Amino acid sequence: MQFTFAHNNFNVLDLEKSLAFYKEALQLTEIRRHESPDGSFVLVFLGDGKTSHQLELTWMKDRKEPYYLGDNEFHLAFKVDDFSAAHALHEKMGCICFENKAMGIYFINDPDDYWIELIPQKM
């Protein structure tokens, strides 16, 4: 028996805003989507074009209040080949929420306040 990663899920309040964020901030593109027949939810799967791992964004029609993320101790991590350029982009976007310069990493937060770690490719 063998298990392999498939995807992670983030629930989002504004699907279009989240899609625009992930495209601009991380160059993720939509791979596929599933819309429920009754319109109650939409699932959009994003990919990086290099790996098979995907990020699933779930939008629920009736959800109006922000999702409770607890202490936000979980996160996704991305390696980036041009760390300085990524940092400049994210600084311009205003989405850097935490930096650990001693470790050479930083975090951005998406429109729903999920944290995403950025690390240099060579780390």
Residue 2 domain-assigned? no
Total domain count, the chain: 1
Please give the Cα distance from 1 to 14 (Å, whole number): 38
Residue 22 domain-assigned? yes
pLDDT band for position 114 (50/70/90)?
Answer: very high
Query: What burial class does residue 12 get, using C-beta atoms within 10 Å of its C-beta: 0-12 exposed, 13-18 middle, 19+ buried?
Result: buried
Query: What burial class does residue 106 get, using C-beta atoms within 10 Å of its C-beta: 0-12 exposed, 13-18 middle, 19+ buried?
Result: buried
Q: Where are the alpha helices (DSSP H) in the chain?
A: 15-26, 83-93
Residue 105 domain-assigned? yes
Please give the Cα distance from 57 to 10 (Å, whole number): 5
What is the structure's pLDDT at 74? 86
DSSP SS3 for 105:
strand
Average pLDDT over residues 51-73: 93
What is the structure's pLDDT at 123? 63
Cβ 53 vs Cβ 9: under 8 Å: no
What is the structure's pLDDT at 47? 98
User: Residue 72: is its pLDDT beyond 80?
Assistant: no
pLDDT band for position 58 (50/70/90)?
Answer: very high
Range of the structural domain that residue 111 is part of: 7-62+72-120
Residue 72 or residue 102, greater confidence: 102
Residue 96 domain-assigned? yes
The bridge status of strand 76-80 relative to strand 115-120 is parallel
pTM to 2 decimal places: 0.93
Residue 1 domain-assigned? no
What is the structure's pLDDT at 61? 97
Encoding tokens for residue 13? Answer: 């309040």
